[in-house]
Amino acid sequence: MVMSDTSNEIETRLRTIGLTKYEIKAYLGLLNHGDLSADELKEITDIPLARIYDTMDQLSTMGLINILAGRPRKFRVVVPQLAFTQLQQSKKEETNTKLEEFNANCSKISTLIEGIYLERHTQLSPDELLEPFFSLEEAEIHTKEMVETAKKEIFIFSRLFYWYDIVEDTLNEKIKNGVSVKIIMQESNDPKANKILDKLRKNDIEVRVVPEDATLVRGTIIDNKQALFVIWASSPQENTKKVYRPLYSENLGIIQIISNNFKWLWNLKHE
């Protein structure tokens, strides 16, 4: 028999890991007396016979006992070190799964309520921060409209600048009117992009070429008051670049971040 003090501590600890009163009585009964049938367990534990089999099924599911074949069926305690090590592992996996679900739900809730919070608590609608466009073509048309409003400076950073022809005439006109125009492109072996680069230089437009991996952002900043940008995301498994939706903003904080990035890239070749 297990000593009384030790037995009390075992009962307490079994309770803390989730065993019920009947499960504890049944487990300790088998631990102290060896293999027992349902009737024998009832006699030494006072567990109602109607509850014995449900109790033993639960202990078996937890991996603490084995149900032996035969008539009558008997029950045997699994080697404790093995049983409780497996129980720990099972609980760890269950906890990790619940934690993943909990984290996913928290992230989703945060996304769902962020807009409500901004609008109710800052009196600022998310639409006032960023206005999305549904295609690059739509964004390019809006970029031309932005360029037409420029008074002091125009910053453009683009990987290949295929859309130069859309704003070419407007840029040339702005330069004649004293507007500063600076353009950043990325190193490329693309023939079309290189022709555009040559054309920019012939038109006396300030242009810098940065390493291909220097940025995955394409954007236009007008007078530090308007910005339209696109974030390009690369997949490690693919050789292609995926485009996120173009976004327009007049928020000074957002514009400042993009402008700082442009200026850092502009000076990159001189560092």
**Residue 219 falls inside a structural domain:** yes
Q: Identify whether residues 134 and 113 lie together within a single domain.
A: no
Q: Identify whether residues 120 and 142 lie together within a single domain.
A: no
**Residue 235 belongs to domain with CATH number:** 3.30.870.10
| Domains held by the chain: number | 3
**Residue 87 falls inside a structural domain:** no
Q: Identify whether residues 111 and 210 lie together within a single domain.
A: no
Enter the pTM of the model: 0.51
By percentage, how much of the chain surpasses pLDDT 70?
87
Measuring CA to CA, which residue among 220, 240, 241 is closest to residue 229? 220
Q: Identify whether residues 145 and 112 lie together within a single domain.
A: no
Residue-range definition of the domain harbouring residue 15: 4-78
| C-alpha 220 chain-centroid distance | 28
pLDDT tens column, 72-109? 999 999 999 999 999 999 999 999 999 999 999 988 88
**Residue 161 falls inside a structural domain:** yes
Distance CA 154, CA 146 (A): 9
**Phi, psi (rounded to 5 degrees) for 223:** 55, 25
> What integer best gives the mean pLDDT of the chain?
86
pLDDT tens column, 195-225? 999 999 888 889 988 887 776 568 899 999 9
